[in-house]
Amino acid sequence: MQIVHGTLTHFANPGAHPNNVYSPEQQAVLSVASAAQAIEEIQRWPGYAVTPLHSLSHLSQAAGIDRLWYKDESQRFGLKSFKALGGAYAVARQLQAVLKARYGKQPTITELLKGQWQSEAAEVVVSCATDGNHGRSVAWGAQLFGCGCVIYIHRDVSEGRKRAMEQYGAEVIRISGNYDESVRLADEEARKHNRVIVSDTSYEGYMEIPKDVALGYTVMLGEIVDQLAGAIPTHVFIQGGVGGLASAVCGYFWDLWGKKRPRLIIVEPEQANCLQQSARAGKPVVVDGDLETLMAGLACGEVSALAWTILANGADDFLTLSEAAIGQTMRLLASGYHGDPAIEAGESAVPGLAAALIARESNQFAQALGLDESSRVLVIGTEGATDPALYQQLISQ
C-alpha cells in the first residue's frame, strides 16, 4: 500500500560526484567556519530555541528505510518558518553596515536589540520581494532592530501571508505579476528611494546580502548536526525554490563531512523547476510562465547565482513533484503516523518528505537514488501553518 500518491521526474546531475572537493570558491559563499558568527549571534536573540528533530520511526519502517528524520521549523521564533533565521539576520547585518558608513561606528547586534541606536536605525528602510516567509522574516527583523520595511508580493501570495507581514509593521505592496517580476520591481524601487534590498536570491551585482541570509540558515543546520549525535544521513531531500536553502544545506554538510556527506536531492514543483532545468542545461536558465503551484514558497523561475555556485556540482539529483502529493503529506504528518508525533507542516514544508516516500515505493526511483532498507533520510520541514486558513483547508480534505 502506497503511503503517498504522486508523480516524480528525475534528473541525475552529471557534474556531481561523491568525492568532489568543496572548493575555495564554494567556501567563499558558505563554510562551517564562516557560519560560526551567525550561529553565535542568533542564539542570543530573544525567543531563540532549538527546534525539534523528529525521528519518524513508524513512517520509516513503513517506507522500508532505516531512519527518517524530520527537522520541524513550524515554530521558529514564532514566525513558523526557517526563514526567520536568514532574513532577520541579514537585516541586522545591513543595519550595522549602513550605520557604520553614516556615523563611523558599527553598532553591535546586541546594541541594536536594546534600542541604543533607535533614532539612527529608524532612518533606514529595508525591502524585499517574497512569497511570504522571507518577507515575514525581513519585516520581523526590521521591527526587532528598529528600521522601516517595504515588502513586495506577487499576485499569488495569500491574504493571510500578506497580513502576517503587515502585523510586524511592514508596508506590503502587491503586484499583478509573478515572483520574479516582484524581485525586479523591488530592486528598481529600492534604487529610486534609497532602500536596502534584503533578498534571499542573488543576481549580477547583488551577491553579499544573500550570503548573510544563507549564513542565518546555518543555525538550523548546526542544530541538526548536534541532534543527530554523530549519525550522518545517507540522503537529504530538500525543497528547491531559488536554491538558497538547498545550497546552504549542501555547502554546510559538504564542508563538515567531506566525502561522507549525504546524497543531496532537490525537490521542485513541476511548473517551477528552475534548478532542474538549469542542471539539464549545465547553466542557470529561467522558467517562464505563471509558475502556478500549491507550493507557494517554491514558485520561483530564476536560480540564485550564489546558490548555483554550490549546487552546480554539489546537488546529486533533481526531482519534480506533482501537486497531488502535497495535501496528502500534510495530512499524514498532522495525524501522526501510527504513533509518530503529529506535526504541523505547511504546503512548502512537505515536498522533500513526499518525494522521499514516493521514490522509495518505486523500484525505478529507489534504484536511481540509491534508496534501500539501509538508507538514513533527512528532510527539513521548512514551515508550519504560515497561512492558517489554507492549512486547515488542506488537512481537512
All three cell numbers of 106:
558599527
Q: What digits encode the pLDDT tens for the residues 377-394? A: 999 999 999 989 889 999
Other C-beta atoms closer than 10 Å to the C-beta of 71 total 21
Question: 97-111, 195-209, 307-321: which has the minimum mean pLDDT?
Answer: 195-209
- The mean pLDDT value for 327-331 works out to 97
- Which strands form 125-130's sheet, in the order they lie side by side? 171-174, 148-153, 125-130, 196-197
Band (52; pLDDT cuts 50, 70, 90): very high
In the predicted model, what is the mean pLDDT of the chain? 94
pLDDT at 295 over 80: yes
d(CA 277, CA 200): 20
What sign does the CA torsion over 30, 33, 38, 42 have? positive
Of 71, 83, 162, 211, the active-site residue reads: 83
- The mean pLDDT value for 280-307 works out to 89
- The mean pLDDT value for 49-56 works out to 98
Other C-beta atoms closer than 10 Å to the C-beta of 281 total 9
Q: Assess whether 83 carries a catalytic annotation.
A: yes
All three cell numbers of 200:
534571499
d(CA 386, CA 136): 10
d(CA 272, CA 293): 8
d(CA 270, CA 245): 19
* Domain 8-81+210-395 matches domain 83-209 at the CATH topology level: yes
CA distance to 53, 156, 223, 224, 225, per residue, from 229 (Å)? 11, 41, 10, 9, 7
Q: What stretches of the chain show up as alpha helix (H) in DSSP?
A: 24-29, 32-42, 57-63, 83-103, 109-113, 118-121, 133-145, 159-166, 179-193, 208-228, 244-257, 274-281, 305-314, 324-335, 351-360, 363-369, 388-395
Q: What digits encode the pLDDT tens for the residues 57-75? A: 999 999 999 999 999 999 9
What sign does the CA torsion over 338, 340, 343, 348 have? negative
Band (121; pLDDT cuts 50, 70, 90): very high
Q: Delimit the domains of the chain by residue range.
A: 8-81+210-395, 83-209
Q: What digits encode the pLDDT tens for the residues 347-361? A: 999 999 999 999 999
Q: What digits encode the pLDDT tens for the residues 234-285? A: 999 999 999 999 999 999 999 999 999 999 999 999 999 999 999 999 999 9
- The mean pLDDT value for 112-122 works out to 96
CA distance to 163, 244, 254, per residue, from 23 (Å)? 42, 18, 10
Could you tell me which residues come within 8 angstroms of residue 208 by beta carbon, excluding any fewer than 6 positions away? none
Of 71, 72, 80, 131, the active-site residue reads: 131
d(CA 69, CA 57): 9
CATH code, residues 83-209:
3.40.50.1100
- 102 close to 120: Cβ distance less than 8 angstroms: yes
- The mean pLDDT value for 14-32 works out to 90
Q: Assess whether 255 carries a catalytic annotation.
A: no
**pLDDT, position 194:** 96
Could you tell me which residues come within 8 angstroms of residue 200 by beta carbon, excluding any fewer than 6 positions away? 83, 86, 87, 128, 134, 210, 213, 214, 242, 244, 304
What is the residue type of 356?
A: A
**pLDDT, position 203:** 77
pLDDT at 290 over 90: no
What sign does the CA torsion over 213, 34, 242, 99 have? positive
Give residue 16's Cα distance to chain centre: 21
Could you tell me which residues come within 8 angstroms of residue 141 by beta carbon, excluding any fewer than 6 positions away? 87, 88, 89, 90, 91, 92, 126, 198
pTM (2 d.p.):
0.94
Q: What digits encode the pLDDT tens for the residues 130-174? A: 988 899 999 999 999 999 999 999 988 889 889 999 999 999 999
Band (1; pLDDT cuts 50, 70, 90): low
> Is 363 strand, coil or helix?
helix
pLDDT at 19 over 90: no
Q: Which CATH class is domain 8-81+210-395?
A: alpha beta
Which has the higher per-residue pLDDT, 201 or 273? 273
pLDDT at 334 over 80: yes
**pLDDT, position 314:** 96
